[in-house]
Amino acid sequence: MRYLVTAVKGSNDLLTLELEAPDESGVRAHSDLKGCTVLEIKPLQFGLLRFKRSNKFPVLLFSRELLALLTAGLSLTEVIDLLVEKEHNPANHKLLDSLRTSLYQGKSLSNALSAFPEVFSDFYVATISASEHTGSLPEALDRYVRFQAQADVIKKRVVSASVYPALLLVAGGLVSLFLMFYVVPRFSKVYEDIRGDIPFFSQLLLEWGRFVSAHAAIALGGIAVLIGLATYWLSQPASRVWLMHTFQRIPTIGERVRLYQLSRLYRTLGMLLRGGIPMVTAIDMAKGLLAQELQIKLSNAGREIREGVTISQAMDRNQLSTMVSSRMLKVGERSGQMGEMMERTADFMDEELALWIDWFTKLFEPLLMGFIGVVIGLIVVLMYMPIFELASSVQ
């Protein structure tokens, strides 16, 4: 069976390989992965289609259950014991059992979690580690749960706002396909004996109808191949990166994408700072949330902060702030509550994004309906145009 493997070689070399192995353990033991840290393994099935197993460890659910049981008064080892007993997924049960073994050996929770970098990110481990020094593990877990909930708000809003336009596109596409593959071929047979001048675009449409009538299998096969190639292209990481860069070149949309990334950055930095992690370390841990261009700017900002530049100045110089966020950062520097101020900045950015998404959805939906109506109406008009021409010639 073939697998798509994402791994890191050395310190920062990201690899993507397709390997043949009987199972996932065989993939990890593959000679091509020696000296690599495996991040993700995806089975490849049915040619172009890729399916991902739904056995990913639920970190957020784990954090919520851990928080609830610790708040109820149970010790950490008792909580892990309960989670191991109730877990039925074999992979998750094995991971939790490994955590329990590490805790019984005297290791800290953060040390036990760090043994699974493919599941628990550096950000999560550092949050737990900082809380262990202050004895505030429940507070850290609560901050993480609220952080994830806030981080998912905009994503869920975008998904919900995309449902209706997606349904419109599907419906419009199906109607257009029905007209082009069923109605137009039959109209082309009706017009075969018509003599006279037929408008150029109507003639093209009728020629398409004749082609479909004579070669229906080839036409449908061609459409299926195009859909398959488009699906495969969209599944490639490089293609998604190219699409993201293309969207970011659109002035209005690009600015909102940048604002969304800055919101995630500020929320992450705020949580790490409130957890007791230094600003420079927090910046290094938050780099992965941003696009490549913003990662470079964040690295420059971190270097300037090490050299003694204030946080607000470093963010301004590297275009990692807005007019409002810059002022809020200066307030945080004066008050000494930079973590809380960064979280408030992220909240402000999220509210601005939510308002823009609502406005864009209300504008885009009628425009999309109008576009679909024009496409379908144009096909219908071109089909009936020869009849109009014939009627005018009779008169």
Which residues are CB-neighbours of 218 under 8 A, at least 6 positions away?
A: none
Nearest to residue 269, comparing CAs of 279, 258, 260, 254?
A: 279
Query: Within 13 A of 337's CA, how many CA atoms are on the CB side?
Result: 8
Please determine, for residue 319, whether its predicted confidence score (pLDDT) is greater than 60.
yes
Burial class (CB in 10 A: 0-12, 13-18, 19+), 273: buried
Mean pLDDT value across the chain: 81
Enter the pTM of the model: 0.63
Q: Residue 12 above 60 pLDDT?
A: no
Q: Which value, to the nearest 10 degrees, does the dihedral of the CA atoms of residues 355, 357, 359, 362 take?
A: -140
Distances (CA, A) of 376 to 33, 166, 175, 278: 53, 17, 8, 59
* Structure-token pair, residue 254: 């690009």
Q: State residue 52's pLDDT score.
A: 41
Q: How confident is the model at residue 101 (pLDDT cuts 50, 70, 90)?
A: very high
The pLDDT assigned to 304 comes to: 92
pLDDT digits (tens, 9 = 90+) for 18-76: 777 766 777 777 766 777 776 667 765 433 333 344 457 888 888 888 888 888 888 88
148-178 pLDDT, tens per residue? Answer: 887 777 778 878 888 888 898 889 888 988 8
